[in-house]
Structure 1
């Protein structure tokens, strides 16, 4: 006998549902703060353990590999125990495991620690997005983009805090402060999340996501392509401005800053736009904007226009993954988000190194064309994908 979410879900007041939305947004924000805290302290960990660039790369890769282990499993956990319970446990586990890399005495233990951090984060990524779909259904309006905007805001908060503390306080004190604050927030917020709706009520007539159905594969492919383009912007924008456009070290981050800023703003206002354009419109339209932005940046190669291009890319991509996660949760029975998220995250993990490999052969501008092609494919395949998710006319 499993501990499946109860088939009798109590009616909730609007204030209760709004409280749940804010609690979940806080968990997303804490998750973003956590990863920004790790990112700003990577140089300190490198220096403390005397690592070279290849060893740092191996350590960072461990986070992604750990996530890929737990992501496919979390769909089953949420189906059995409820996304609210899994999110609550994984949020606390994720915050606590941030301490482990900073306690590691050597490269081997660092890789193990980061694998555990990645595993906890992969499970949290799937479960909190599944909970987002539950809250979205209860409220009756789109909220997924705003939740992902909270993650981005958490990254900004973590980066700002790191700017103040890194080099001024001991690294372990900085991390300990973040872990204590985010763990407490996770414990409090986790108690306010909502139980899932019964499957037959939540997804009537849905294709079974426990198999690799065409809907799962196509949604996963769109997520893969979208996250490949996102990872390319994150990891290669600054190098493109420095090595290709010739900007100085201090100004080379302008393209990255433009991308992150418009992505955050696009997510903050994306739910309203999603309500007007629909899921298919915002995914395909966003992909077109991304492709045009990258084409402008890669073909014109003038710093001001390239900055505009990366800004357009961030704006276009801002709602692609949140909407695809939401579509998976709404339209697929079983662990739909888990399978789609796993395929998508593979693109985020593999995309940047593939572009790096290609850059060594054909140059960085041509290699970044892979991200442009990915965005164009999202626009082309989006219609077929969303057509598969629409219920038959008799069920509308």
Structure 2
């Protein structure tokens, strides 16, 4: 089991945003302070944060995210100052609610969802599994951030149960495809980036402008039915093997809270085309932890991810595709160079050939009904020490046949 100290990870240098409700009350914007949710609209009304009362009274973060980077930064500075102000301690205390007394909701109304394939280690592992006699990476991989357009309507908040999907499957030894529940259900440990600021169709966002549209980060599990995916994805790519569910953390950590986690991005060779170059190409020193059935099975480091989030966003718009507030793009599976740093069961078990042993003595090649998967992560904090990203958890339910 993990020993991450949750209270210390959610102090004043973190303050992630979410949506919460109490019985009989509508969902509204909150921030997390240790083991409490702060009613932000109420606090703003009490303590002079008038610029954000309306946006923080909404049932999603979208209105706040639409205000843009200057407002995000001003709001964070106001909130930190207010929480530090001893003369306002009683005002703050009146707006604190224990997390045990609130229900957390999906933090954004997802406008569009795109999933990338940005980890070189993950792409290399997958290539070696499926193309053992060929090149691990496809010829285009180091020239552009590969991605697919997912299904926004099946992004769910952490804690939502995941029903095992059904679909067509065809193993290499089968003469014909069959239909039924996936038997190779997998996880993908990722980061999701929340986008703010609409752009017009036909315009582009460059690498050095992309950060103005990056509101924050949430842990993300892109559940994957590998058997359904393997049969359907040639020649067009992922579809039903991915679109049944993707889990997003209830807490979105603002990019400014991750300023100390910024690190140099990996060296890129060959140099990408000019639109993917820029001064603001960065990595993030975020350590992810994957727990299955009470056993930590992997610790993928995001810092090794080849394509920067600013490059992913620039590539997403280079053809003139517009951005909409509430857009969500994910990094793709995060994997490191070591065997215990792989972010999917496909890699961890080498496509089922090397099953994992859990603490209770059972083994797993892929997920079984009843399995609970939890992702956690930490990063360097702006005030020293470390901060936490809100966890993502989900339990597998039997297929509905």
TM-score, normalised via structure 1 length: 0.24
> Please, what TM-score do these two structures have when normalized by structure 2?
0.24
Instruction: Give 1 or 2: higher helix fraction.
Output: 1
